[in-house]
Amino acid sequence: MNINIYLENSLAKQLKDHTKLAGKPRNAIIREAIKEWIEHHQIKQWPKSVLNYKGCSGIPSFESSRKDLLPPNEDPFA
């Protein structure tokens, strides 16, 4: 895929300087930057298998027993 981007002069100069220091083509550095950004900004969500899970037949859900739970005697985080 080809993409055109426009950079302000100061950023373009920094990119040019870094390409010389790294000894890599500009496109390679831009690809690496985009890949790194995507890896660090992934949308985190449960897999569809978990979201669609309906439980096991014959086993009551945890929520059905919630009313039987006693509150803790002390705050365990205090």
- Report the pLDDT averaged over residues 11-26: 96
Asked if 29 and 22 touch (Cβ cutoff 8 Å), the reply is yes
pLDDT digits (tens, 9 = 90+) for 26-70: 999 999 999 999 999 988 888 899 889 888 888 888 788 888 888
Would you mind telling me the total number of residues written for the chain in this entry? 78
Per-residue confidence (pLDDT) for residue 35, from 0 to 100 = 96
Whether the per-residue pLDDT at 6 is higher than 90: the answer is yes
Which position has the token pair 């205090």? 78
DSSP letters of 1-67?
A: --------HHHHHHHHHHHHHHT--HHHHHHHHHHHHHHHTPPP---HHHHT----TTS--GGGGGG
Per-residue confidence (pLDDT) for residue 23, from 0 to 100 = 96
Per-residue confidence (pLDDT) for residue 8, from 0 to 100 = 96
Domain boundaries, the chain: 9-40
Helix axes of 26-40 and 9-22: crossing angle, nearest 10 degrees: 100
